[in-house]
Amino acid sequence: MIIMKKDASPEQLQHVIDEVTKVGLRTDVSHGQHLTVIGLVGDERQVDFAHLAALPGVKEARMIEAPYKLINREYSNAYGETRTHIVKIGNVELGGDEPVIIAGPCAVEDRDALFRIAEQAKEAGAHILRGGVFKPRSSVHSFQGLGASGEAGAIEALTWLKEAGEKFGMPVVTEVRGEAQAALVSQYVDIIQIGSRNMYDQDLLQTAARTKLPIIFKRHFGASIEEFLSFAEYIAAEGNKDIILCERGIVPVGKGKNYTRYQLDLSAVPVVQKETFLPIIVDPSHATGRRDLIRPMSLAAMAAGASGLMIEVHDRPEEALCDASQMISPAELKEIIGLARQIRQITVK
Amino acid sequence: MIIMKKDASPEQLQHVIDEVTKVGLRTDVSHGQHLTVIGLVGDERQVDFAHLAALPGVKEARMIEAPYKLINREYSNAYGETRTHIVKIGNVELGGDEPVIIAGPCAVEDRDALFRIAEQAKEAGAHILRGGVFKPRSSVHSFQGLGASGEAGAIEALTWLKEAGEKFGMPVVTEVRGEAQAALVSQYVDIIQIGSRNMYDQDLLQTAARTKLPIIFKRHFGASIEEFLSFAEYIAAEGNKDIILCERGIVPVGKGKNYTRYQLDLSAVPVVQKETFLPIIVDPSHATGRRDLIRPMSLAAMAAGASGLMIEVHDRPEEALCDASQMISPAELKEIIGLARQIRQITVK
Amino acid sequence: MIIMKKDASPEQLQHVIDEVTKVGLRTDVSHGQHLTVIGLVGDERQVDFAHLAALPGVKEARMIEAPYKLINREYSNAYGETRTHIVKIGNVELGGDEPVIIAGPCAVEDRDALFRIAEQAKEAGAHILRGGVFKPRSSVHSFQGLGASGEAGAIEALTWLKEAGEKFGMPVVTEVRGEAQAALVSQYVDIIQIGSRNMYDQDLLQTAARTKLPIIFKRHFGASIEEFLSFAEYIAAEGNKDIILCERGIVPVGKGKNYTRYQLDLSAVPVVQKETFLPIIVDPSHATGRRDLIRPMSLAAMAAGASGLMIEVHDRPEEALCDASQMISPAELKEIIGLARQIRQITVK
Amino acid sequence: MIIMKKDASPEQLQHVIDEVTKVGLRTDVSHGQHLTVIGLVGDERQVDFAHLAALPGVKEARMIEAPYKLINREYSNAYGETRTHIVKIGNVELGGDEPVIIAGPCAVEDRDALFRIAEQAKEAGAHILRGGVFKPRSSVHSFQGLGASGEAGAIEALTWLKEAGEKFGMPVVTEVRGEAQAALVSQYVDIIQIGSRNMYDQDLLQTAARTKLPIIFKRHFGASIEEFLSFAEYIAAEGNKDIILCERGIVPVGKGKNYTRYQLDLSAVPVVQKETFLPIIVDPSHATGRRDLIRPMSLAAMAAGASGLMIEVHDRPEEALCDASQMISPAELKEIIGLARQIRQITVK
């Protein structure tokens, strides 16, 4: 990265950008309150940092060691921003002191159910409404969401989601699984979700990033944190830094039963907060797959410092077409939200 | 699946198909030498097997337990085919007694190098030429293949690959990483590869399957065999069963060093051969990441019964833009191919 | 297990025990407030449950499915005890509402340091003093604790530990790594710890169990919860149920860095509490290996419902001969304990 | 390590040893054909290598980077030995070109069965007889071997094993699970086995090493190769380098089924051969847990370069008290041994 002097002129900034572009890299310019920093996209070994450091207006030029550079704490510290980046979605701010709750059914299945659940989630204290239209599934023989029934089905489900969000004053989020879905989905939602199974899908990440919508980016269940952040960098490199990282469980360890779908890795929360300026939320529903574990793991996520929770909720779990065993009731959600706020008040420094 | 009687009429077959379609499932009809079997795509719980079994012309109707049904050994056994499915690519037959060798550079980088390597690989005994145009990379800052430089770059690289294959009499294969690349790539190559990182990307699998080209389908480095085959089923469900499974290493275990990039899981070879009728090959280059391990692991793969090998080769490894440490020379390749054939002769039952 | 009727006579109980012993199994008799239940040690397939159920005084006779039977919630529920088992160590009760804090240096290194740390840990609110004498180490070339210097060194270190505990009113715990150490150690400490690396060492578990001291039993970093509890059963089968389970992190997932020594599996806390009546504590020090993560992960463990914490503390971390990077100061410990209590008050149902 | 000059005198050697001992380390002196090298046991940071290098008779003094120093290839290369160390057990040589086959039942269960199996294993071409007396088991409720029935039972089983070995001209090996068993077992067997679950049990390793018998040392199913070799170093540090490393499968990866008990990591074979001079064998029985996979994985192990195989064999698998599903017949063993020899002839360089 190249840190510009306080009094660097726009021409000097442009000159540095030109020099970088000349050797085949792209730039990412970040303006802090007092300082401007230029991040680099591409192979930094092509860059002569000594040369850049000597250019007029340049305070310092050096490499960031980690493979994630544009989302690195070191980068935001360089332009003088030490807080977590706040992602604004409508009137919701994610990344600040107040925990943000994203709730809703696993899949959008029918209009009435969605509206009923949305109303109750709102009443319970949730801020953002979730609902799957294109469901990633391990088996081609399983229900793939209403999106699988063709474009008309997808549009219908997306319309319901949008209307439910508007009616109850909640921004909405749904998952995009394939590149071809991004353009359509972006017309209806406030946030795009990239699911765990698609974390490594760099073309999808770039396509989603270009919609300019905030992205909830879930860690793959087999990915190290370094990999997770390296792939988040694909989104940032498209100029979109409204990235909400999401921990949702890693593959269970060892032989025999662990009694949960995945193993929630809560140390990812403080680790990610040291490594990057992006906010991180936690999804206890997919991580545990068990209704009775949502409460303790939600509270633990709060105590670990997560910026929010993503929880599957259904008023009639037995009717849900997917993930019924991990749905909690709106009443349980309300209790969790209340406790989450109390824990945040105690633990925030 | 529904097994038809030997003397079932086309009308009876159609009637069964209609009954299945009526409850919302799709069908996959397989004709063996003597028997015809109907596979089902969708949720089998919707199906009344007792009802189907009673229809005229039906010999037997029952569920296949595994989540992969259309590629299941049980399915091919039912229509009387007990051998491994042979995938024909030009005049190359993959899945029979003779091991098939796929070789070439990691990435297509320049025309001369590609032609030079192709010639030497052919001379060493390789059957199919590989070369990456769209490279999946852990970091957005790394070289992403010539495909990353825009459509013109991609077309140029694909053209070189096609020409090199034609000149030296080898079918060619390259990786497709995003849905948008499938249509373009399919005009130039004989086989499409889906890489490890994209194994879970069901929309990409379906898009690639629809090109009707044979697919080399690599196991994700964190996937169980059940998951691997469940995602191969996405390809088969599009009517494309020319699937070549590929084991390329799983994530290393434990704390500390394992001294290889991944851990090659060779028991996957006989396991997959029991579970499915599809052929499986092994990629020791990506699994080990070490030139000195290609020989022992190639020979071990042969002894385990693999139908072929996929090996990265370069005549000037130090010039390779990616994966230089795992490239072997054409001379080493020749020796491995010779030994592989001898082992196959000994071990084939 | 065999559940006796409320009014079963001692003779009837003895008769059932004799019948079980006759076919080669051992028994574990548990008296609840109202009911008595007989657990079985050995292969239950040797047992004719129908025969036992028909004996006088028997209410019910049936198998417990899980491989851990004597520590199973189903077992304690059968004799009418629904709370977590409380392990009493001197005047400390572990397993109740109040979180119990175990703190101290990684290794006992010198008398003065130990006393200084003990005093400050006590002042910070810790209940139990820890200190390693026989240190398990990955390398034979590393410092192995004072126990490695011969019996005299071990006795000296154990004496210091005992005296420090007595002086500051804290029960003490140290790790036993080999069978030969159990008899010696049990003369000096109030609790025996079995470390992660020894979890599978069934002979050691039995030897330690027979000292009749409470056992802190740490999960192996590669063990599933089923395995963890199956090996805890080895201790219970010796008649010692004063077992304190301890989660201390599992092996990191995936390729690349996770930035912690291990990954703390906090879902183990509520899962273990459903499966068994034993209390579970959490060790954030070994799990993370990072001073800056002790606070968030301690608080998360509390929110998840852990019965206690085991934390390494040192007043001069830079002088510690092992694990210096994960030591917190007594002041940090004090803050954590205060917050832990507040979280417990909020979250306890 | 300290490499002595060719013409160094015994007094000079002793002086170096004294200097090392003075700072608290132990030494391991290895005499090659021409050169003598002193290995160090303990924390090398205590050692002033510059000082040692300047002593009379010293050619070179430097640190070995890996945590395993006394079993390191770098160490044996230094004293001029480039071949794999050959472990001699009676008239069997393990580590040379000829593959060594260790075969026998999972557990010693009755005298007649053992003798019958031993005879047939010998006839099939096996060199060493195995049989478990102290069985490590995941559940305290499972059959633990005849050793569990008390000392008399253990002695009886060990006597049978010894007699069967003598009668059919095969050295014998059994597992030692706890320290207390080592002295007894060492009176009856030619090799001691340390099982996978005990790999981390450093006190057991030291106790077993001190019997001076060769040790078959199995990799823990969750251990990296670095860890595996670091714990083998505990044996070597006791002066016992007759260590036969054994790969027996690692924990399965991912969600869902892998259809094998463990995953055989055959790349461990060439990796270990680069890192250390110790021989490595492969146990396909425990790795796969499936009779039908023993043949392909045995042959693959041979092709990868293993020095031998450890295979469970039984003439009446249905009567075996443990691991029945992975037992092959003596006839199958014979076929595998024949093919193994052919593969070795082809692949040996």
Tokens 């497709």, residue?
Answer: B176
By mean pLDDT, which of A30-39, B12-21, C311-320 is the weakest?
C311-320
Inter-chain residue contact D138 with A251, CB threshold 8 Å: no
pLDDT at A320: 77
For chain A, the straight-line distance linking the first and the last C-alpha, in angstroms and rounded, comes to 30
CA distances to D10, D34, D75 from D31, rounded to whole Å, are 12, 8, 11
A257 shares contact with chain D (CB less than 8 Å): no
Mean pLDDT for A221-235 is 97
Helix H or strand E segment including C173: strand C172-175
Q: At what angle do helices A291-304 and C268-275 cross, to 10 degrees?
A: 140
Please check whether residue C114 is in contact with residue C160, taking contact to mean a CB–CB distance below 8 angstroms. Answer: yes
Question: For a pLDDT cut of 70, what percent of chain C falls above it?
Answer: 100
A334/D143 Cα distance (integer angstroms): 50
The answer on pLDDT for C321 being more than 80 is no
Share of chain B above pLDDT 70, in %: 100
How many residues are there in chain A?
Answer: 349
Q: Is there a contact between B139 and A67 if contact means CB atoms under 8 Å apart?
A: yes
Chain D adjacent subunits, 3+ CB pairs under 8 A: A, B, C
Cβ atoms < 10 Å from Cβ of C115: 15
Distance from CA of C287 to the nearest CA of B (A): 13
Closest partner residue to D339 (CB to CB) among B220, B296, B347 is B347
Q: Does the CB of C63 have a partner CB in chain D at under 8 Å?
A: no
What region does C24 belong to: left with phi over 0, alpha with psi -120 to 50, or beta?
left
Q: What tokens were used for D71?
A: 């079993």
What's the mean pLDDT in A192-204? Answer: 97
Please judge whether A177 and B202 are an interchain contact, meaning their C-beta atoms are less than 8 angstroms apart.
yes
Asked if residue A20 lies in contact with residue A47, where contact means CB atoms within 8 angstroms, the answer is yes
Q: How many whole angstroms separate alpha carbon C194 and alpha carbon C197?
A: 8
In sequence order, what E strands does C92-139 have? 92-94, 100-104, 128-130
D72 touches chain C (CB under 8 A): no
Domain segments of chain C: what residues?
A: 2-63, 87-347
Can you give A27-90 as a three-state secondary structure string? EEEEECCCCEEEEEECCHHHCCHHHHHCCCCEEEECCCCCCCCCCEHHHHHHCCCCCCCCEEEC
> Which residues of chain A lie closer than 8 angstroms to B42, CB-CB?
141
What is the nearest CA distance from C220 to chain A, expressed in angstroms?
Answer: 10
Confirm or reject contact between C274 and chain D (CB < 8 A).
no
Measured at the CA of A311, the angle between CA A308 and CA A315, to 5 degrees, comes to 140
At D196 the pLDDT is 97
Q: pTM of the predicted model, to two decimals? A: 0.96
Q: For residues C169 and A116, what is the distance between their CA atoms, to the nearest angstrom?
A: 58
Residue C94 in contact with residue C302, Cβ under 8 Å?
no
pLDDT (tens digit per residue) in B229-278:
999 999 999 999 999 999 999 998 888 999 999 999 999 999 999 999 99
What is the gyration radius of the CA atoms in chain C, in angstroms? Answer: 21
pLDDT at C318 over 90: no
- A71 pLDDT above the threshold of 80: yes
Residues 6+ apart with CB under 8 A from B116: B315
8 Å CB contact of A255 and D252: yes
> Using an 8 Å Cβ cutoff, are C279 and C76 in contact?
no
Q: What is the pLDDT of residues C171-210, one digit of tens each?
A: 999 999 999 999 999 999 999 999 999 999 999 999 999 9
Alpha carbon B22 to its chain's center: 33
3-class secondary-structure state, position A231: helix
CATH fold group of domain C2-63: Alpha-Beta Plaits (3.30.70)
Q: What interhelical angle do B151-168 and B111-124 show, nearest 10? A: 30
On the 0-12 / 13-18 / 19+ scale of CB atoms within 10 A, D26 is: middle
Q: How far is CA B114 from CA B337, C57, C60, C128, in A?
A: 20, 85, 76, 68
pLDDT for A34 equals 83
- Eight-state DSSP code of residue A99: P
Nearest CA in chain A to B137: A202
Residue from D275, D285, D262 nearest D225 by CA: D275
Cβ of B179 and A181 within 8 Å?
A: no
pLDDT of C319 reads 79
The predicted pLDDT at position C153 comes to 92
At A149, is the secondary structure helix, strand, or coil? helix
Region A151-171 average pLDDT: 96
Report the pLDDT value the prediction gives residue C148, as an integer from 0 to 100: 86
Inter-residue contact A279 to A307 (CB < 8 Å): yes
| Model pLDDT, residue D318 | 79
Buried b (16+ CB within 10 A) or exposed e, A183-204: ebbbebbbbbbbbbbbbbbbbb
Which of C220, C263, C304 has its CB closest to that of A300? C304
- pLDDT at position B318: 79
Judge whether residue A349 has pLDDT over 80: no
CA angle C271, C273, C277 (to 5 degrees): 140
Alpha-carbon distances of D13 from B51, B189, D27, D36, D37, rounded to whole Å: 89, 67, 11, 9, 9
Structure tokens at D45: 């940071």
Q: Which pLDDT value is given to residue A208?
A: 98
For residue D280, the model assigns a pLDDT of 98
Contact between B251 and C252 using a beta-carbon 8 Å cutoff: no
Q: Do A258 and C225 touch (CB under 8 A)?
A: yes
Least confident of A89-98, B134-143, C327-336: B134-143
Statement: residue A319 has pLDDT above 90: no
Q: How many CB atoms lie within 10 A of CB C83?
A: 9
Q: Which residue among D259, D293, D304 places its CB closest to the CB of B275?
A: D259
* Contacts for D218 with CB less than 8 Å, ≥ 6 apart: D193, D194, D195, D196, D199, D246, D248, D283
Which of C128, C108, C285 shows the shortest CA–CA distance to C196?
C285
Q: Which two tokens stand for residue B148?
A: 């990353």
**D264 interfaces chain B, CB cutoff of 8 Å:** yes
Interface check for C250 against chain A (CB to CB < 8 A): the answer is yes
Q: Which residues of B touch D271 (CB under 8 A)?
A: 258-260, 293
Which regions of D121-237 does DSSP assign to beta strands (E)? 128-130, 172-175, 191-194, 215-218
Average pLDDT over all residues of chain A:
95
- Could A178 and B231 be called an inter-chain contact, meaning their C-beta atoms sit closer than 8 Å? no
Give the Cα separation of C162 and A291 in Å (integer).
45
Shortest alpha-carbon distance between residue C264 and chain B (Å) = 14
pLDDT at B283 over 90: yes
- Tell me: pLDDT of C349 over 90: no
Candidate from C178, C230, C231 with C-beta closest to D204: C178
**Cα distance between residue B136 and residue B143, in whole Å:** 9
Interface test mutation site (partner D, options C69, C142, C200, max chain D beta carbons within 10 A): C200
> Is residue C324 over pLDDT 90?
no
Residues of B whose CB is below 8 A from A208: none
Report the relative pairing of strands D87-89 and D92-94 from DSSP bridges: antiparallel
Could you tell me the CA-to-CA distances from B30 to B37, B66, B71, B79 in Å, in that order?
5, 18, 11, 7
| Mean per-residue pLDDT, B44-65 | 93
Whether residue D251 and residue C222 make contact (CB cut-off 8 A), yes or no, is: yes
Which of C137, C139, C196, C255 has the most B C-beta neighbours within 10 Å, making it the best mutation to test the interface with B?
C255
Indicate the length of chain D as a whole number: 349
Question: Percent of chain A beyond pLDDT 70?
Answer: 100
D-chain CB neighbours of A254 within 8 Å are: 222, 251
Q: Give the 3-state secondary structure of A179-227.
A: HHHHHHHHCCCCEEEECHHHCCCHHHHHHHHCCCCCEEEECCCCCCHHH
Which residue type, as a one-letter code, is found at position D298? S
Residue of D138, D253, D255, D288 to mutate when probing chain A, most A C-beta within 10 A: D255
Q: Which residues make Cβ contacts (< 8 Å) with residue B256, sequence separation at least 6?
A: C138, D224, D225, D226, D227, D230
Domains A2-63 and A87-347 in one fold:
no
pLDDT single digits (tens) B204-233: 999 999 999 999 999 999 999 999 999 999
Please give the pLDDT value at position A315: 92
* Chain C nearest C-alpha distance from D182 (Å): 12
Instruction: Give the pLDDT of chain D (349 residues) as one tens digit per residue.
Output: 999 999 999 999 999 999 999 999 999 999 998 899 999 999 988 899 999 999 999 999 999 999 999 999 999 999 999 999 999 999 999 999 999 999 999 999 999 999 999 999 999 999 999 999 999 999 999 988 998 888 899 999 999 999 999 999 999 999 999 999 999 999 999 999 999 999 999 999 999 999 999 999 999 999 999 999 999 999 999 999 999 999 999 998 888 999 999 999 999 999 999 999 999 999 999 999 999 999 999 999 999 999 999 999 999 887 777 778 889 999 999 999 999 999 999 998 7
Contact D204 C202 (CB under 8 A): no
pLDDT(B46) > 90: no
Q: Is the CB of residue A274 less than 8 Å away from at least one CB of chain C?
A: yes
* pLDDT number for residue C317: 82
Q: Cβ of B221 and A220 within 8 Å? A: no
Q: What is the per-residue pLDDT for C110?
A: 92
Average pLDDT, integer, range A66-93: 96
CA distances from C188 to C90, C126, C160, C171, C300 (A): 14, 20, 9, 10, 33
Q: Within 10 Å of residue A66's Cβ, how many Cβ atoms?
A: 19
D275 in contact with chain B, both atoms CB, cutoff 8 A = yes
Touching check for D240 and chain C: CB below 8 Å? no
Residue C125, pLDDT above cutoff 80: yes
Q: Is the pLDDT of residue B320 over 80?
A: no
Identity of the amino acid at C248: R
- Residue D244 to chain A, least CA–CA distance (Å): 25
Q: Are D216 and D251 in contact (CB under 8 A)?
A: no
CA closest to B292 among chain D residues: D270
Please state the φ and ψ torsions of residue A68, each to the nearest 5 degrees. -105, 115
Q: β-strands B215-218, B243-247: how paired?
A: parallel
The two structure tokens encoding residue D274:
């680069």
Note whether A309 contacts C: Cβ–Cβ < 8 A: no
Q: Class assignment of domain B87-347? A: alpha beta
Q: Which residue matches tokens 């037959």? A: B93
Residue C78 in contact with residue C84, Cβ under 8 Å? no
CA distance B251 to chain C (A): 6
What is the C-alpha to C-alpha distance for residues C218 and C201, in angstroms, rounded to an integer? Answer: 12
* Segment B286-298 mean pLDDT: 97
B139 and A233 in contact by Cβ < 8 A? yes
pLDDT reported for residue B110: 92
**Averaged confidence pLDDT in chain B:** 95
DSSP one-letter code for A313:
B
Rounded to a whole number, what is the distance in Å from the CA of B317 to chain D's nearest CA? 22
D221–A contact, CB cutoff 8 A? yes
Q: From CA A292, how far away is CA A281, in angstroms rounded? A: 20
Query: What is the structure's pLDDT at B250?
Result: 95
Instruction: Look at residues B122, B106, B232, B108 and name the one whose alpha carbon lies nearest to residue B169.
Output: B122
**Confidence check: pLDDT of A24 > 80:** yes
Res D299: pLDDT: 98
- Chain B residues with beta carbon closer than 8 angstroms to that of A221: 222
Q: With contacts defined as CB-CB under 8 Å, which chain D residues touch B274? A: 259, 292
Residues C11-55 have pLDDT tens digits of 999 999 999 999 999 999 999 988 999 999 999 888 999 999 999
Q: What is the distance in angstroms between the Cα of C225 and the nearest Cα belonging to chain D?
A: 12
